[in-house]
């Protein structure tokens, strides 16, 4: 009996020792063998993917910079390369070239209002539009640009942004191509589409007053004018030109029939709307302003008003005091 009892005690002691050893080492063994919780694994994978995506995005940003725009920004604008061409301005369409008269005085008043607006907020590039065609956009644009150029020898860039029915070149009496359409299509450089008047070919006082004016004609946009007007190269053109000019005036298409003016207005500091006296209906003017509500509308210019101002004959004016 004693031997059997001793054997049972020994076996019990060995089981206790074995159980103690298993309990002592159990936590480390469980930790080593347990799988990673599903949420933790997902988080790690997501973190990895995010890091990979960030790296990929960074590489794409470095690789896929639009090459034409990079080239333009790198090269900048060399104003010495702007060609001088013969201009034959239509004086009957450019009263701003005159030394005195009711019309030139009205454009001086418009110029003063614009300078007042610039005192309130930054203003250099102005888009001129209207609700419908034949309300005088190109007339106002060209004369406003000349009036600004005559003031303190300001450098002015006039852009014909109506690539469907471009007419500003007819008022200035110069070539219409290459122009804005060719630049936006990547077919011409910024210097190639800019032109200045050859002083030797201009006549009378126009020879002097057009000296500070640079012009970009409309070019031939045709059916692609809507797509070209939305090209980011227009914004790049404005940025390239801003350091070299005091004012940039953009003559655009009417805002209600097509969307070109709305696209171009996004790159300009302000918008000036034109209404024709006795022609433009109030609802049309309202709709034009509504189409451009995302832009900074400076105000309306009432064009072709037959009544002469009542103050001009009394005070008079001296054009030599620009």
In angstroms, the CA 193 to CA 188 distance is: 7
Torsion angle, alpha carbons of 298, 302, 303, 309, to 10:
-120
Greater pLDDT, 83 or 306: 83
The H or E element containing residue 110 is helix 102-120
pLDDT score, position 126: 98
Global pTM reads 0.73
Q: Residue 282: name the closest of 67, 104, 132 by CA.
A: 132
- DSSP string for residues in 37-81: PHHHHHHHHHHHHHHHHHHHHHHHHHH---HHHHHHHHH---GGG
101 to 74, 149, 301: CA distances (angstroms): 46, 18, 18
pLDDT score, position 285: 95
What would the pLDDT profile of 53-78 be if each residue is shown by its tens digit? 343 333 333 333 333 444 455 568 99
Between strands 156-160 and 247-251, the pairing is parallel
User: Average pLDDT of 19-28?
Assistant: 49
What confidence tier does 316 reach under pLDDT thresholds 50, 70, 90? very low
Between strands 297-303 and 247-251, the pairing is unpaired
In angstroms, the CA 26 to CA 19 distance is: 10
The answer to whether the CB of 228 falls within 8 A of the CB of 181 is yes
CB atoms within 10 A of CB 90: 12
Residue 257: pLDDT over 80: yes
How is residue 308 annotated by DSSP? P
Least confident of 3-12, 63-72, 91-100: 63-72
Tell the residue number behind the tokens 């936006």, with chain if given: 184
The answer to whether the CB of 301 falls within 8 A of the CB of 274 is yes
Residue 25: pLDDT over 50: no
Q: What structural domains does the chain harbor?
A: 83-303 (3.40.50.300)
The H or E element containing residue 180 is helix 180-184
Q: Residue 157: name the closest of 285, 243, 74 by CA.
A: 243
What are 281's two structure tokens? 């209906």
pLDDT score, position 117: 95
What would the pLDDT profile of 190-245 be if each residue is shown by its tens digit? 999 999 998 655 455 555 678 899 999 999 888 899 999 999 999 999 999 999 99
């Amino acid at each position: 009996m004693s031997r059997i009892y001793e054997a049972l005690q020994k076996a019990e002691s060995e089981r206790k020792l074995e159980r103690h050893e298993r309990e002592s080492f159990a936590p480390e063994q469980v930790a080593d063998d347990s799988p990673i919780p599903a949420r933790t694994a997902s988080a790690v994978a997501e973190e990895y993917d995010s890091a990979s995506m960030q790296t990929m995005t960074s590489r794409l940003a470095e690789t896929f910079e639009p090459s034409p725009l990079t080239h333009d920004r790198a090269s900048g604008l060399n104003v010495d390369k702007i060609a001088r061409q013969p201009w034959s301005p239509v004086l009957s369409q450019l009263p701003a070239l005159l030394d005195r008269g009711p019309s030139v005085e009205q454009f001086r008043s418009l110029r003063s209002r614009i300078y007042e607006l610039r005192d309130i907020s930054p203003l250099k590039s102005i888009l001129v539009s209207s609700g419908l065609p034949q309300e005088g956009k190109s007339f106002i644009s060209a004369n406003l640009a000349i009036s600004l150029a005559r003031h303190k020898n300001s450098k002015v860039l006039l852009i014909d942004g109506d690539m469907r029915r471009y007419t500003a070149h007819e008022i200035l009496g110069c070539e219409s191509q290459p122009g804005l359409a060719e630049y936006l299509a990547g077919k011409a450089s910024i210097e190639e589409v800019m032109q200045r008047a050859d002083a030797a070919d201009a006549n009378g006082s126009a020879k002097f007053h057009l000296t500070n004016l640079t012009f970009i004609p409309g070019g031939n946009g045709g059916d692609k004018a809507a797509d070209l007007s939305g090209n980011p190269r227009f914004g790049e053109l404005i940025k390239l030109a801003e350091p070299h000019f005091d004012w940039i005036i953009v003559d655009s298409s009417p805002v209600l029939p097509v969307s070109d003016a709305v696209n171009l207005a996004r790159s300009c500091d302000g918008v000036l709307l034109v209404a024709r006296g006795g022609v433009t209906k109030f609802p049309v003017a309202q709709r034009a302003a509504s189409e451009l509500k995302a832009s900074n509308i400076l105000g309306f210019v009432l064009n072709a008003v037959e009544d002469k101002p009542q103050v001009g004959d009394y005070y008079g004016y001296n054009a030599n005091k620009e």
